[in-house]
């Protein structure tokens, strides 16, 4: 097996200049750079691969003459980053099998790679299950992790042989007993998710006061409860939330045994971030699992990571479609804190791939991709600078809340036709984009792959 790069270092930035902008038909797919420039055969770094793909695309678009929509937002996705995240997971949580949360980002190449890596899949709807099954994934690698399910979807998964599913209330048990009594059920329990970006406990989860009676009802209905699941909330920040949830799950396992159930799986849900907090979070969870569900217990351990895999793998490029100087004193005070500057309008926003600002509490940071004929990706000039020219950044719709950035400063003077880019845009972005105001919600994805192991698995 080809091993992944152990450490991604900071690479020297390159400034690209192109004075020959020309029109080229839009494309998406795999970007294969020419590695042999001037006799240099060194494999490009992840940053270089992403930068080359961005540059190739934006330098081939002239907004003065291009066809409508040719300057649309697009993504560059590094599948090698997903591969590295998988190895990182196996290193830190070797006993826990990941079931990727499809809702986070259902990109087909992402799912293909994860399927080839052997992960399972956490699906919440018929469409997500159909997409995963279409890849040839065995139904046993899918958990229908939706505690409150549509009747027709239950009939569908029964026909497809997807047996694993969650529940958290008595009505759902009666529904399953009527529609799919052969299902393998996970009792989802309530957790403390107060420190998470997106709390789920207000909607899902059975309290410990109700778990024993639910297990009793499941036994009365002749259903098969095989495990416990929990979710500490999307984007969790308190490792102790995992410790508390594991101890609670252990209590429920004991309750289930008293009712005669042979419990075999614990699902520790999601909440894992891709940043430097992962190792600490994984360490607390690993220790808790070793104490309450040790390897010799024979309990299978699974999880439902989503953003952990894809957040850092996707970069988005946005075109500046208009610029407005802020001169009115009242407007200045409201939009730019009392000083002059510019309002930039880009071709994506809160109703599109930046819905994560509203729904996922994210704060995407704009960087300058191209201005004045120069590509500035991964250079100091691309990054915001205090004391520079001040901008606010707005989406393309007619809604006044469609603002990406309230205030940011760059050294360069940006104008219509320039490009911005935003990193870490793989989680809860394109999956929740809308067509509000008639703007498209599907955008090209250019794929690069910075890991030989991932390329080999995908036969690239």
Q: Which of 60, 28, 77 is nearest to 370 (CA)?
A: 60
Give the angle 402-407-413 at the CA atoms, nearest 5°. 105
Domains observed in the chain: 22-32+41-78+311-452 (2.40.37.10), 80-310 (3.20.20.10)
Question: Does the pLDDT at position 9 exceed 50?
Answer: no
Q: Between residues 327 and 406, which one has the greater pLDDT?
A: 406
Give the angle 270-453-301 at the CA atoms, nearest 5°. 30
pLDDT at 21: 31
Question: Does the pLDDT at position 22 exceed 90?
Answer: no
pLDDT at 367: 98
Residue 456, φ and ψ in degrees, nearest 5: -65, -40
399 — pLDDT class (breaks 50, 70, 90): confident
- Say whether 68 sits in a helix, a strand or coil: coil
Q: Which of 143, 96, 107 is nearest to 123 (CA)?
A: 143
pLDDT at 2: 36
What is the share, in percent, of the chain residues with pLDDT greater than 90?
Answer: 68
- Say whether 355 sits in a helix, a strand or coil: coil
Question: Does the pLDDT at position 258 exceed 90?
Answer: yes
What is the C-alpha separation between 76 and 244, in angstroms, rounded? 39
Question: Does the pLDDT at position 11 exceed 80?
Answer: no
Q: Tens digit of pLDDT for each residue in 101-157?
A: 999 999 999 999 999 999 999 999 999 999 999 999 999 999 999 999 999 999 999
Range in 26-30, 126-130, 280-284 the model is least confident about: 26-30
Q: Tens digit of pLDDT for each residue in 215-250?
A: 999 999 999 999 999 998 654 557 788 888 999 999
Q: In the beta sheet, which residues pair with residue 374?
A: 17, 371
pLDDT at 457: 93
**Active-site amino acid positions:** 398
CB 75 within 8 A of CB 66: no
Contacts of 192 (CB under 8 A, 6+ apart): 201, 232, 241, 244, 245
């Amino acid at each position: 097996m080809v091993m992944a790069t152990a450490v991604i270092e900071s690479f020297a930035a390159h400034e690209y200049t192109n004075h020959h902008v020309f029109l080229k038909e839009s494309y998406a797919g795999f970007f294969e750079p020419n590695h042999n420039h001037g006799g240099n055969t060194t494999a490009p770094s992840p940053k270089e691969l992403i930068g080359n793909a961005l540059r190739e695309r934006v330098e081939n678009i002239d907004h003065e003459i291009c066809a409508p929509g040719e300057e649309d937002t697009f993504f560059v996705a590094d599948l090698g980053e997903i591969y590295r995240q998988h190895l990182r997971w196996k290193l830190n949580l070797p006993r826990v099998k990941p079931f990727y949360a499809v809702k986070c980002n259902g990109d087909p190449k992402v799912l293909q790679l994860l399927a080839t890596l052997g992960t399972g899949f956490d699906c919440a709807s018929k469409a997500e299950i159909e997409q995963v099954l279409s890849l040839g994934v065995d139904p046993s690698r899918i958990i229908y992790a939706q505690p409150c399910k549509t009747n027709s979807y239950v009939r569908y998964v029964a026909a497809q042989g997807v047996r694993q599913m969650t529940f958290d209330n008595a009505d759902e048990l009666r529904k399953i007993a009527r529609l799919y009594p052969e299902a393998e059920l996970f009792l989802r329990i309530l957790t403390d998710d107060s420190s998470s970006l997106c709390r789920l406990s207000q909607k899902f989860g059975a309290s410990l006061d109700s778990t024993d009676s639910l297990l009793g009802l499941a036994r009365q209905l002749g259903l098969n409860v095989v495990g416990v699941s929990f979710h500490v909330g999307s984007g969790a920040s308190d490792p102790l939330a995992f410790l508390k949830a594991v101890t609670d799950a252990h209590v429920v396992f004991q309750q289930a045994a008293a009712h005669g159930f042979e419990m075999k799986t614990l699902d520790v849900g999601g909440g894992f971030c891709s940043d430097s907090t992962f190792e600490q979070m994984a360490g607390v969870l690993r220790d808790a699992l070793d104490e309450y569900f040790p390897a010799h217990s024979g309990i299978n351990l699974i999880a439902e990571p989503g953003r952990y895999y894809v957040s850092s793998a996707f970069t988005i490029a946005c075109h500046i479609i208009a610029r407005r100087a802020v001169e009115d004193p009242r407007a200045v005070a409201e939009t730019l804190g009392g000083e002059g500057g510019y309002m930039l309008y880009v071709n994506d926003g809160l109703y599109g791939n930046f819905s994560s600002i509203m729904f996922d509490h994210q704060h995407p940071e704009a960087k300058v991709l191209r201005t004045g004929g120069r590509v500035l990706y991964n250079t100091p000039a691309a990054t915001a600078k205090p004391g520079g020219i001040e901008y606010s950044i707005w989406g393309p719709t007619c809604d006044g809340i469609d603002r990406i950035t309230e205030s940011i400063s760059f050294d360069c003077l940006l104008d219509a036709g320039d490009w911005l880019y935003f990193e870490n845009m793989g989680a809860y972005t394109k999956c929740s984009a809308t067509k509000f105001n008639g703007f498209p919600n599907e955008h090209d994805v250019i794929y690069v792959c910075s890991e030989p192991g991932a390329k080999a698995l995908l036969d690239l």
